[in-house]
Amino acid sequence: MIIFVAMSESSGWAGFIARLSARAVVNPRVAVDLLSLAWAFRRREWWRHAPFLPLPDRTYLEWRLHTAYGEERDLPPVRDVLRFARWRRRLLHD
């Protein structure tokens, strides 16, 4: 329980990733959904540009946040990301 309290107090992307990771550890279906979503959001040809990791393009993320919330937000609500990942799985696999 202490871990979840500490993570909820974290701010920024590290805290956001920690909260999503905690949900994924508890529920393997969520883990698969989030990994699939992260892979879909990766920058194209990511292996050609430093840091050579399959991370999303910042401009694309800002655009997605703007179209979803009407403004570029720093972080989306964790609940929205989980809901979107589940919706995406159902759309693609059902």
Task: Kindly report, residue by residue over 17-72, the tens digit of the pLDDT.
Answer: 999 999 999 999 999 999 999 999 999 999 998 999 999 988 988 898 899 888 87
Q: Buried b vs exposed e over 27-66: b needs ≥16 C-beta within 10 Å?
A: eeebbebbeebeeeeebeeeeeeeeeeeeeeeeeeeeebe
Q: What is the band of 10 on the pLDDT scale with cuts at 50, 70, 90?
A: low
Please state the pTM of the whole predicted model.
0.79
Query: How far, CA to CA in Å, does 84 sit from each of 23, 50, 59, 88?
Result: 14, 28, 19, 6
